[in-house]
Every structure is written in C-alpha cells, then in structure tokens.
Structure 1
Amino acid sequence: MNVLGRITAMPDLPEPLEGLKEIAYNLWWSWNPEAAELFQELDPALWKRFRGNPVKLLLELDPARLEALSASGYAARVQATREALRAYLEARRTKRGPLVAYFSAEYGFHSSLPIYAGGLGVLAGDHVKAASDLGLNLVGVGLFYHEGYFHQRLSPEGEQVEVYEPLRPEELPLVPVQDAEGRPVRVAVEFPGRLVHVGGYRVQVGAVPVYLLTTDLPENAPEDRQITARLYAAGLEARIQQELVLGLGGVRFLRALGLAPAFFHMNEGHSAFLGLERLRELVAEGYPFREALELARASALFTTHTPVPAGHDVFPLDLVDRYLGGFWEKLGVDRDTFLGLGLEEKPWGPVFSMSNLALRTAAQANGVSRLHGEVSRNMFRHLWPGLLAEEVPIGHVTNGVHTWTFLHPRLRRHYAEVFGPEWVERPEDPETWRVEGLGEAFWRIRQDLKLFLVREVRQRLYEQRRRNGEGPARLREAEKALDPEALTIGFARRFATYKRAVLLFKDPERLLRILKGPYPVQFVFAGKAHPKDEAGKAYLKELVSKIREYGLEDRMVVLEDYDMYLARVLTHGSDVWLNTPRRPMEASGTSGMKAALNGALNLSVLDGWWAEAYNGKNGFAIGDERVYESEEAQDVADAQALYDLLESEVIPLFYAKGLEGYSSGWMSMVHESLRTVGPYFSAGRMVRDYLALYERGALWEKEARARLEALKAFAEALPAFHALGVRPEVPGDLTLNGGRLEVGAVLEGEVPEGLRPHLRVQLVVRRLGGGLEVVDLEEVAPGRYRTAFLPTRPGSYTYGLRLALLHPVTGRVEWVRWA
C-alpha cells in the first residue's frame, strides 16, 4: 500500500474508567505504585511488553476487558487514584521560588520513554520529579528523539549490537504543544542557508511540564527531520545541530509559549547555546553587550557532570563559523569577542568549548559531588587566571535519587508502617528514618526481591540465548541460573573503561578461590557502551570472554539492554552493589544510592558520592584516597583491596546468620546505610539545594538590573586593573612564638573610581597540612596597607600578597594580581 498518512484511534473508555486516561498522561503514575498497579492489572503481559507504557496499553487492550472491569471494584480504585492525582496537583498550585527553565539533552523519566542514555538523563528525570514534589516553579526543556536511544543486543561472544526502534509520539504520554487557537507552536532556528522549524510535545511530570522539541516536521527537509532522531547522534555536525535546536530553539519555544523564566539551569554543556540566545534577546532590548552578559550570567547556573576534559563537547571554529557566522553582529561584538565566550586552547589548536561557554554565561556553576567539585575547580581554573583552586567559583551539589521512583513498593509500604507517617511526608529528614524497627519482615521482603531478580535473570538469559540460536543444553542452563539463597552482587552502569568492570579478573586465581569457596557468591552485570565507544564495547566483550574462559557462567551473568526497569530490578534484589571506577573519574554515580535505599550495601571505590557517604559502618570501601603513579598500580592495588574485602569482611559477615535467618551484623550495617544514605542522598535534598541557588541567582539578576550604571563603569574600568601592582613589605621567612606576622603593601598605579569600591589588598596564608585563610589589609594611608596576622593553630605556613577585585554583584574574587 502507498501510505498517505497515519491515524491513531484513541480508546473510548467506559465512564467509570475515564480517569485512566487522565492518569496515563501524567507521569505521576510512575512513582505512585497504586497508579502503576492499575495499569499492570489490566493486562500484565502487555504491560511488560510495552515497557510499562499506559498509553500504548490502553490503545491495544481488548475493550471487553475494560467493560468487565468497569462494573467491578476496580472502578472505585480508578476514581480514588484520579482524586489522589488531583489533590497532589492542587496542593502544588502555589509555586515556590522563581520560574526556572531547566535544560537537559536527555531525561530518564521511565523506561517506556527511552530518551535517556544513562545517569545524566535519569538524574534530570529525578530533578524534575523532586521539583514537582516540592512544588517548585520549574519547566523542563529537552529533545524528543523519535528513534530514542538504542536497545542493546549481545552476541554469544559479547559483541554489542545497537538496535533503534521508532517511537510514535501518539502512543506515548506526550501531547503536541499548541497555542490558544489550537495551532501547533512552531519556532525556527537559523542553519546555513535555511531555517529549521522546531515543534514540541509536552510531557507532564506531576506538577511540572517538560517540553520536548522536535524537528521531525513536514515543514523541514528530510535531512533536517533527522536532527532529533537519535540521542547523541554521531558526528560533530549532528551534535552542533542538536545543541543549537536545544539551546537557541529551546529559549525561543519558551517565549512562543509566553513564558519568561527568571532563571536558567543548564544540566551539562549541551544546552549552553541558550546563553547566546539570551544575550541576543537582551541586546535587542537595548542593553550593551557587557551589561547584557552580566544580566544573563546572574540568572544562570551550569551543572557539569564530566570529570575529564575529553568528555566536554568542543567544536572546530570553522564549524561554529558555519552555523553561527554573523551571530556576533546580533550581539554588537566582533568575531573574536564572540568566539572568546567558548574558546579553549588545545594542543592541536583553538576550539569552541560548550562547557567554557556555559561557565562564561553563568555566574553559578557546580559539580555533582564534593570530590567532583574539587576536580572541576582544577579542570577549569585556567578560566580564572591567578585564582587559587579553592577560589574558582565552581561549587558542588551532590546528586540524589528520587526516593519514590526507586524504592520498591513493598519496601515503601513497609517503611511507612515501621517509620511512621512523618517519613512519608519528610523522607529527607534523618530523624524520620527509624531504622532500628527493621528486622525479620524487612529481611523476608528483601529475600522475595532477590528471588524476583533471579527469575528475571533466568527469563532474560533464556531469551538472550534463544535469540542467538544457542542449543537446548544452554537454554536449560539459563533456566537454572543463579541461586536465590546466595550472596548476590550487582554491577550495572555504562560500560566505559574507567568504570573497570573487569577489575575482578585482575588476579583470576584469587577470584576463582573466592567463587569456588565454601560460601556461594554470584554476580550480575548489565550496561551499555556508547555506540561510538569502541574501547567500552571491547571491555564488555572482554568481560563476557573472561567469564566463559574461567567457566564461571553459573556464578556470573551479563544481561543485555540495561534500562530503568532493569536498573530497578537489580538495585531492588542485589545484596551488595559493586562500583569500581578509577578514582577520581566518577563524577557522582547514583545507582549505589538506589541500591542502598532498598537495603543493599555498597562495595565501592571512594569516588563520587561514596567518598562523602562512607563512614566506616554503612558499607565497604575499596582501597583508599591515595594517588597512584600509574593506572596499572591503581588497578592492582584496588583489585587486591576488593579481594581482601570479599574474603575477610563481605562474605563472612553476610553468612554469619543467626536463628532469625539473617546476620545481625549485616543487618546493623544495613540500618546504618539506610540511616545515612536514605535521607541525604535523595533528589528532594538535592533540589532543595538547587532552589537556594535559583533564589540567589534571581536576586543577583535583580541587583544587576538595579546597578546597571555601576556595572557599566566597572566594565569600562576593568582593563585598568591589569596595569595595577602591589609592592610587598614583608619579613620573609619567620618563626613565630606567639607573635603575629606583620605585613604591609603599597598599591602601585591609579585606581579608577569604577573599581575602587571592589578592590582589596589581601594576605593569603596556606597551612601546609591543609587550610587556607584570606585576610584583607587595612588602608592606613593613601595607597598603603597593613595587617598583623595571628595563625589560628601551630604549623608550617606559606603566605603571599595580592590585589583582589570583587565582582560588583556576586561579591566574589574573580580577578587577582599577585605581588
């Protein structure tokens, strides 16, 4: 047939069940078990086949089934759930904080909407869900990839094959965005020699709308319709096209909806072009470029998730010229000034860095764990010449997970019974986690969840082998894989070489002794390698090969097609969650938080979130925080530490079972893990931290608008700062016996009036054992400064003098000249 079009006939639900449609189109159902169970009950097989997609389920369900249920008690449950959804939304009608536009290239809301690749997207989804729970005034912006992210197939040898399946938006909980007259909302983005038209879909996530942009429109040429086809499309040109649509198109789409966010949050650098669009708008309103830049910066935040320079998007300057050539004229600046916003010098020449652009157009920036904040300050300190690493204005907000999405429903109900109603209302409050009440009933639930994991593994392994044409004996083995009573260790994450999935095989003989020892231990692995990460794919293949080589397929299983559903099954059912990144390359990691929330213990390198969560009693730490001379030395040391932990701590403690059927020592550690991880490493706590940054940025933006003349004078005078100098008057090396360090300084040069209120002469003192103190000198005569410094504690110190210039709005030191 010559297809002329497509139609989708939406189901005509019986009147008592009409609420199902309202529930289906709000992803609130995905973190409310009573709602999800309504859909699962309709047809459990279809529910699983459609990856838990309620819209597709309603489209395909036998109408007779709906008619039968409409005359049963099921109808009352539908009505009660719809009322619960409406009550949830009504309670959040009054919003908290400024209107925030949250931009992310991927969102992991649920496995039925596969527009996420991994942790970054799931974190974005959790951010939006927690913002909804807290009633934040937030809208999300992203891209709708109509081929999504790939499904993974593994050959018997462990070769990864990527399979893309087209997504039909009418079969998903998406609504086309229309204006008041019912016309599709459209904006355009300038590409070389043409306009690319951009439309969008709204996905409602509780009380938060998220707008997913698409170029798959009849108005566009076939090649332009493919811009938003696949998440992280291959090639630099495809990437810059997607990021222009997200950044420029995203801001324009919000404007077309009549939205005027007071604050913009860039989740990674993919959306950093939004800073250029905001600058263009402000210049068009009549603000000179420098003032426009200050206004845009004040009301923007950049969150980086990448701990290595190679992970940040950069584009050749000629590609930027081709796609943004002439954009600088709209900003009233020349090409060099424009490119300077993102310029990064590489060994092979200059490039345009999206992270640099984000940092130069946002006054606030953060890493996603305490350690990652430190790594990021060192990575980007070249953008603030002369500042000490501690002073680089990049902080940290440690990631958290959305409690209600990742906590198993049975445990959720059990915790509510044991901890009380205060826990349901305030899960971020440590006082509500009354973990001492968890005992035998909790352990029975944990064992049931492990049994479910084992059954899921067997079913998936059977299908995996059947599809690969493996023989009957191999299929029978799959049906018996794993032991529901054995200590089960989960490892699931993106397959990248720095995550070291094969670290267990560093000493195969020792690993075999552990696995063939008196106590059964088994491992479940899962994860995708990026389609273009050949090294990651090779690592995955190596893992499968080693498992076969050493005859460990009865103790080690590698599952394909890791997604949010499988992640929940694994974190719900594992006893131990293994994480072996090469420190300090894990920005945060969140899978261990999810496992801990469900009663598993973490066995992890002290990297990312675990470096600040581990307290010696709430899990196991692999290795220490030292720096190694080589990767090989680090691998050997960490592998030996891992074997030692398994042999002497993890396995003996797990199997030291008493009459109640579990180890009391193990349970004590689980209690401590829940008490310390559950409340703090939650998306609720995380989003509260971000709310403080949003509110501060909104105040900064108001202050910047009120002080535009002062900002103009400051900007005009700023070049003169670099002609100033400071002459020290110091004693050099000195031993203090209860006395003070007397220092003086003479300011050299003429200070413009525009800089004078913001200029400081400072003594900077660093204790060799750690610690930094900064003391402002007092002006005792025109151009002459003095202070007397008393160390706060004994020790060895170094000191220096500098001129420091504070930003007029943020009050932070951003420019220095050292004596």
Structure 2
Amino acid sequence: MDRNVFARVWELRVGRINVYLLDTDIPENSAEDRLITAELYGGDLEMRMRQEIVLGIGGVKALAALGIEPDVFHMNEGHSAFLGLERIRLNVVEKKLDFYSALQVVAAANVFSTHTPVPAGNDSFSREMMQKYFGKFAKELNIPFDELFSFGHTRLNPNDPFSMTILALRLSRHANGVSKLHGEVTRSLWKDVWSGVLIHEVPITSITNGVHTKTWMAPEFADLYQKHLGDWEEHVTEPEFWRGVIDIHDAQLWETHQQLKRRLIDFIRDRERHRRERLGESPESIRKVNRILDPEILTVGFARRFATYKRGTLLFSDKERLKRLVNDATRPVQFIFAGKAHPRDEAGKALIQEVYKFSREPGLENRVVFLEDYDSYISRRLVQGVDLWLNHPLRPLEASGTSGMKSAPNGGINLSVLDGWWREGYNGSNGWAIGAEIDNGTTEFQNEVDASSLYQLLENQIVPLYYAKPDGKLPLAWLQLMRESIRSVTPVFNTQRMVKEYTEQLYIPAARGYQNFSRDGCGAATHLSQWKTQMRKDWPQVQISDVQVANKDRQSISVGESLQISARVHLGAVDPQHVRVEAYHGEVDNGEISNPTATVLNQSSPADGNGSYIYQGSVPATESGTYGFSVRVVPTHPCLMQAHELRLITWS
C-alpha cells in the first residue's frame, strides 16, 4: 500500500527496564490510522493486519530511531512476526544481500515463543490481504510474491491462509513452547512445517513459564522466610535452600496463613458491602454480608481468564453433591471465583454469568462467591489467602498457566489437572492431580472423568486432611503438605530460573549465530545459502541401496553385545563430508520405533567411482526387548543451527 503511517513512541520505565509503546493516535495520521493502536481486541482482520504491521515492522523502525540495535529479537506469539521480514529487507537494502543470504543472518538471531496450543488461536490472513499489504514489500525483498507467501504456510496445501505462527517458525532458528507438555503439543501441531521430520525431532524446545516470586509473595511470608531461612531472594532458585521450611514452627506457619486468609475474607466482605450499598439493597441485606465466608473453613480459590477450555463451571456439574460439601455441619468447604473473559469470547462471558447465578442459589450463597472486576490486586489477595488453588483446564489446552505457581510461596496447595506447568510441578506429595492423563477422549468424557475425580478428591482426601487436628488446634498433615508445596514449587517455577534458561538455551546461541553470520560482509550466511541451494538440487541422488547386519544370529542378540550394521549409500554429487549417516534404533511398539536413538555410522570405504560409499557402525544392545532399526542420511554443515534445517532425510 502506498501510504505512510506515523507512530509516537512512549517510554515507560518499569524499574530498570524501559518499555516502548507505539501510538498512532497523532495528527499526522488519517482518522482511520489513528485507530490502529486504540484498542487491542477491537476491529476486524484488516485492523489486525495493520496492528501487526505497526508492531512488527514499526517496532524495528522505532528501535532504530531510538538508536537501539539489538542482535537478538524475541517474538512472543506470531503477532510480531513481520519484524523478521523487515530485518531481512534491511539486510537486502543496506548490505546488498540476496533474500536467502539475509534470511540466514536474521533467522539465526530470532527467537520465537508460542503460547497457544490450538491452531485457531494463531492469526492468519488471506492471500488477497497479504497481496494488498505485502505485494510491494516482496519487490523490495527481490523475490516473487508467491515465494514470500509460501513462508506463511506448510507448503503442503497452497490454498492455506498465511499463518503468522508459521512465518515466525520459518524466520527463527530458536523456538519454544512454555511447558514440557506444551512443547510436545507444539511439535505435533506444527510438524508439517518440517514435513518428513519425525515429531520428536521437530526443532521446538520448551522453557516452562515462571512467576516473579516477590510480586506474588505476601510480605508476611517474606518476613517468615527471612527469619527462618535467611536471605531467600538471593537463593530463590536453590531447592536445597528451601528445605529450610521444615524448620518453621507449625503454629507460626499456620498463623501466618490464617492471618492472610482473614484479610482476604475481610476484603471480599468489604467489596460486597460496597456493591450492595451501591445497588441500594436493604439494610438487612447489607448486614448479611458478615455471613459471607468463614476463615475457619477450607477455602478453595479459582481465578483466571474465563476461556471455555478452562471449564469454570466444572464444579457445578453435580449441584446436590456440591451443596452437601459446602453445607456439611462439621467439615464444610467454601469456594471463591474471580475472572474475566476475552472481550470477544461470548461463551467465556456466559460461563461467568453461570458461575455468578450459581453463587446466588439457595444452599450455595455465602459459601460460593464470585468476585467482580478481576485484576492483579484481587489476584494477589486470592493467591495469598486461599488454602487450595483449583485449576481444571481441558487437557492439553493449558500451555502453561501460572496462577498455581503464585499460590505455593504463600503456603497454598494445588488441586489441578495434569496439564501445563502442574504436570512437571506435581510430585505426588505437594498437592493433588485431578483425573487421569487423557489424551484422546471426547470433551464430554473428559468432563465426566475430571468432575468425578474432583469430587472424590475433595470428599475422600482433601476435606478429611484439612480438618484432621490431632491436638485439636492445628491440621498437622495439612501443614506438611503446605511445606512440601512451598519447598518443591517456589525454587523451580520462578522468573529467575525462566530467564536463565532463555538466556542459556536461546539468547546466547542466537547472539552467537548472529555474530557468526554478520562478520566478514556476511560471508558465512552467503556461503550457507548457496550450499543449501546446491544441496536441495543434488539431494534426489542420495539413496541407501543396501543394509547388512554382520552378526551371525541377526534375530537374537544378547544384552551386552552389539548389532554390527553396514550400509551402502549412493551420494552422487553430494560431498560425503556434508552428510551424516545414522542407524535409527529403539524398542518396537506396534511396528513403530519408540524412544529412538540415532547412532552415527562411519564411512569405511572410499567411493567406487560412481558416488557410492560404505558406512559401518555398531549399536549396543543394552536392555532386553524387541528392537528395530533403520538407516537414514541427513545433510550436515558446520553453520546449520538446526539438525533438520533443510527438511531433507533419506531412509533405507
């Protein structure tokens, strides 16, 4: 398109960090363009496209205008993925590189994190819209528009729309999901971007999210840790240090927690009193506020964005059973709900309305509360004050989740589906896991299983444990669980550990890659680009013509022995130093090799004159069982940053 959009840059100082915000609501822009940054979730796909151009391309230009020249760019979700195209364009225009050489430089220095485990949550644009906004841009990159468009889809179906997530994956050599399970889901979700590559080898790793512990920890708990453990902020990531919670006296730990619980309940009553006064309710109704919740009762919290997959109404699937729980004469339970829905998520809003209605029903009022106007302040009050933190997303749709991480440093215990972070956090003695790890049942079946499990855990394990007070005062077994929750969750699920992992696993390799490809007039990038072009041209010649097993008894090999493998590989014009020949082996399960390992086979004989070579190696038989193997050839080059960057594999 032939028009300029201007943006004012706002600088926001958050501690030692500068945050830059782009604002198009300025006189230099048309009325239409002034709205681009007005509303995050407003507008149609066209508005979304404009916002993502301003964020991605405008973001790169803004940093340049500020004199900031980063080596590494980190994209969170695909919304900013156009920054990769702008960085390539700058290399083409300023350094006179061709598109594919510039791509090597830029992709080496891009990091991409995806937080969305469903395809529908990823932005995509039609071919027509991309042509409208990027037709001219493709000319600046010196490539045909169709070639540019292909960077936004799997290349298996040319009719697919242009996916921002696929663009980000293609323009990054470093990509991650935000928990171990989410990494597995993401590799499976985007496997077609690496067509032909085995799912577990798709180059998407995982770094589990964390929370800023000091932000969410109540000052009372911070003081308690300071007194009994020492300078906890300096040792927040050290599991051994947190074993010190064992030394905190039962009465002190319980009283600190109860103090925060009383504060939470006072806060909720205060808000409800103001709400009833605002609505002009009767003096009797306002007096009844003091009956809402009770600090001596087991208190369960559920607060988050109300997306349908988080199943905010799962607890209400058996109302009679719930009423028996909350109205038990000697061991009652109370629940506090809070949250907001995405402005466009009508189903999510409907869930909030349902929860609110349930909280007003006879038999549930005063024991089930919904807090309005959810924000970080309410969230902090909740995670610091409840006994039990409830989370039951539809597995495996929770990429990570962090609310339960915030509860643990405050002595809160998690009751959650084994999804997102809790699949790693749960150790069998620091909380409870709802339901089985179902991967392929229907939604209805999973709802049924998880609701049943939730009620059984509450009735048979959680409630009895909370109210078991051998000395008549303190729930000693519950206190042990609190300690284990603090000890196991706090040192692992925090931002210090998370940032350290991003730095070591992604940022430093990306910075090194950028430096390697940028030096000497980007010589290494140009060389790698040319090598890839030649390799793609020559690869069809690569064939594995014969595989032999040298062992006398091929079918039965004793543990401790090795399988001797030799393979005849025809490489044609491909240089042997640019291939890796591997035996791919592992236990056979339903005809598939599970938990595979790749063992490199070494070249043992020179070419026979027509480009064929013999490769040999041995695979140790370390455990008993039924095993299988295959032989494969993959291209290799010292400058490749991913094992399957070319998506080329030849199998026997």
TM-score (norm 1): 0.73
For 1:789, the equivalent position in structure 2 comes to 619
For 2:38, the equivalent position in structure 1 comes to 229
Secondary structure of residue in 1 paired with 2:641? coil
Match of 2:19 among 202, 205, 210: 210
For 2:76, the equivalent position in structure 1 comes to 267
Match of 1:765 among 567, 585, 589: 585
Say if 1:450 and 1:345 are closer, same or farther in 2 by CA, change over 3 A: farther
Residues 679-724 of structure 1 deviation map (CA, whole Å, 9 limit, x = unaligned): 1100000001111121111112222335235313312213225412
Instruction: Give the whole-Å Cα distance in 1 for the aligned partners of 2:362 and 2:124.
Output: 42
Contact 1:528 1:562 in 2 (8 A): yes
Contact 1:344 1:352 in 2 (8 A): no
Structure 1 unmatched runs, 5+: 1-191
Residues 649-698 of structure 1 deviation map (CA, whole Å, 9 limit, x = unaligned): 11111111244832111111111111111111000000011111211111
Contact 2:105 2:525 in 1 (8 A): no
Following superposition, the deviation at residue 546 of structure 1 comes to 3.5
Residues 201-254 of structure 1 deviation map (CA, whole Å, 9 limit, x = unaligned): 111122221111111112112221111112232421121111111111111111
Following superposition, the deviation at residue 472 of structure 1 comes to 4.9
For 1:487, the equivalent position in structure 2 comes to 298
Alignment-mate amino acid for residue 624 of structure 1:
A
For 2:338, the equivalent position in structure 1 comes to 526
Secondary structure of residue in 2 paired with 1:595? helix
Q: Is the aligned partner of 1:653 residue 2:458?
A: no
Match of 1:737 among 521, 533, 558: 558
Instruction: Give the whole-Å Cα distance in 1 for the aligned partners of 2:353 and 2:486.
Output: 35
Following superposition, the deviation at residue 468 of structure 1 comes to 5.1
1:77-476 correspondence to structure 2 within 5 Å: 192-284=1-93, 285-344=95-154, 349-421=159-231, 423-433=232-242, 434-439=244-249, 440-467=251-278, 472-476=283-287
Alignment-mate amino acid for residue 566 of structure 2:
G
Following superposition, the deviation at residue 726 of structure 1 comes to 2.1
Following superposition, the deviation at residue 730 of structure 1 comes to 4.4
Say if 1:768 and 1:542 are closer, same or farther in 2 by CA, change over 3 A: farther
Alignment-mate amino acid for residue 20 of structure 2:
Y
For 2:610, the equivalent position in structure 1 comes to none
Match of 1:715 among 532, 535, 543: 532
Alignment-mate amino acid for residue 779 of structure 1:
Q
For 1:800, the equivalent position in structure 2 comes to 630
Alignment-mate amino acid for residue 533 of structure 2:
E
Contact 2:11 2:21 in 1 (8 A): yes
Secondary structure of residue in 2 paired with 1:777? strand
Residues 152-195 of structure 1 deviation map (CA, whole Å, 9 limit, x = unaligned): xxxxxxxxxxxxxxxxxxxxxxxxxxxxxxxxxxxxxxxx3421
Alignment-mate amino acid for residue 636 of structure 1:
E
Instruction: Give the whole-Å Cα distance in 2 for the aligned partners of 1:547 and 1:404.
Output: 33
TM-score (norm 2): 0.92
Instruction: Give the whole-Å Cα distance in 2 for the aligned partners of 1:529 and 1:346.
Output: 35
1:668-707 correspondence to structure 2 within 5 Å: 668-692=480-504, 693-706=506-519, 707=524
Secondary structure of residue in 2 paired with 1:342? coil
Alignment-mate amino acid for residue 643 of structure 2:
R
Instruction: Give the whole-Å Cα distance in 2 for the aligned partners of 1:375 and 1:234.
Output: 30
Following superposition, the deviation at residue 268 of structure 1 comes to 1.4
For 2:320, the equivalent position in structure 1 comes to 509
Alignment-mate amino acid for residue 651 of structure 2:
W
Residues 302-360 of structure 1 deviation map (CA, whole Å, 9 limit, x = unaligned): 01101111111111121122222211111111111111111257999421111111111
Say if 1:789 and 1:495 are closer, same or farther in 2 by CA, change over 3 A: same
Say if 1:650 and 1:387 are closer, same or farther in 2 by CA, change over 3 A: same
Say if 1:658 and 1:735 are closer, same or farther in 2 by CA, change over 3 A: same
For 1:665, the equivalent position in structure 2 comes to 477
Q: Relative CO higher for 1 or 2, CA cutoff 8 Å, sep ≥ 6?
A: 2
Say if 1:668 and 1:748 are closer, same or farther in 2 by CA, change over 3 A: same
Identity of paired residues, percent?
43
Say if 1:297 and 1:576 are closer, same or farther in 2 by CA, change over 3 A: same
Residues 538-593 of structure 1 deviation map (CA, whole Å, 9 limit, x = unaligned): 22222233444563122111112211111101101111000001111110000000
Instruction: Give the whole-Å Cα distance in 1 for the aligned partners of 2:277 and 2:41.
Output: 31
How many residues matched?
Answer: 625
Match of 2:422 among 606, 610, 634: 610
Instruction: Give the whole-Å Cα distance in 2 for the aligned partners of 1:264 and 1:686.
Output: 17
Alignment-mate amino acid for residue 700 of structure 1:
G
Contact 1:290 1:715 in 2 (8 A): no
For 1:141, the equivalent position in structure 2 comes to none
Residues 740-799 of structure 1 deviation map (CA, whole Å, 9 limit, x = unaligned): 33333232342334xx43311211113247522001112122222222322321222232
Contact 2:104 2:529 in 1 (8 A): no
Q: Which moved more, 1:307-316 or 1:743-752?
A: 743-752
Secondary structure of residue in 2 paired with 1:326? helix
Instruction: Give the whole-Å Cα distance in 1 for the aligned partners of 2:642 and 2:50.
Output: 37
Secondary structure of residue in 2 paired with 1:583? coil
Match of 2:405 among 593, 596, 600: 593
Secondary structure of residue in 1 paired with 2:586? strand
For 1:725, the equivalent position in structure 2 comes to 543
Alignment-mate amino acid for residue 206 of structure 1:
G
Alignment-mate amino acid for residue 438 of structure 1:
I
Structure 2 unmatched runs, 5+: 608-612
Secondary structure of residue in 1 paired with 2:299? strand
For 1:818, the equivalent position in structure 2 comes to 651
